[in-house]
A and B are shown apart, each in its own frame.
Chain A
């Protein structure tokens, strides 16, 4: 049980921002929120993670709701290389993957 809910698919245009939502309403106080993405025939790639505060790195931003029951991964300017399946995962250590969101980026 992945214990997170994501839309099956989303579509964006190149160079536009993308907001990928994730619901984790049963998250415990010690669970981190992790985001990974996977391109076809490759292993997942770490994107970002956080606990309570919003986080930024070179790849993306993570906005965490105040009650921590949901979060949003923000890609500020989507590129064609960002097309992938994005997984939102909660947990202390081992990662249980759900179905993720397949992001399509249109040129």
Chain B
């Protein structure tokens, strides 16, 4: 079945570091990918919609200059957490699925990236 690969699976770094997370669709093309954040014992929170070839659409309250999203190809979206601080420590998850507007396509999720900022 369709697979979404997310890398790295875990990152531990110092405060002030910028961290890049990659999300790849391995056997299908994805014009749209989604980025989520999940804090312990909470549900997933949608951060932004990554659109191939155009700017990402951010959810209310998510800083676009803090969380840079690039969707340069139909199989790769990246999320860069710039100047990360301890409060950015979280579980980041991406998903990819059917084209925009086609609500009958399931989303396939990556295994997530555990980000810990010291």
Contact = CB atoms under 8 A, between A and B. Distances in A.
B46 interface: yes
Instruction: Name which of B32, B36, B43, B46 has the most chain A CB atoms within 10 A of its CB.
Output: B43
B61 to A, nearest CB: 13
A93 B102 contact: yes
Interface string B86-114: 00000101010010111110111111101
A34 B108 CA distance: 12
A96 interface: yes
Contacts of A41: 91, 112, 114
Interface string A25-50: 00000111010101001111110010
Given A43-B6, A43-B109, A46-B108, A95 B46 contact: yes
Interface residues of B, number: 27
A80 interface: no
Interface of B: 4, 6, 32, 34, 36, 43-46, 49, 91, 93, 95, 98, 100-104, 106-112, 114
Interface residues of A, number: 26
B111 A43 contact: yes
B43 A93 contact: no
A21 interface: no
B107 A46 contact: yes
B43 A100 contact: yes
B44 A93 contact: no
Nearest to B6: A43
A34 B102 CA distance: 13
B109 A44 contact: yes
B44 A97 contact: yes
B33 to A, nearest CB: 11
A10 interface: no
A30 B101 CA distance: 10
Contacts of A91: 103
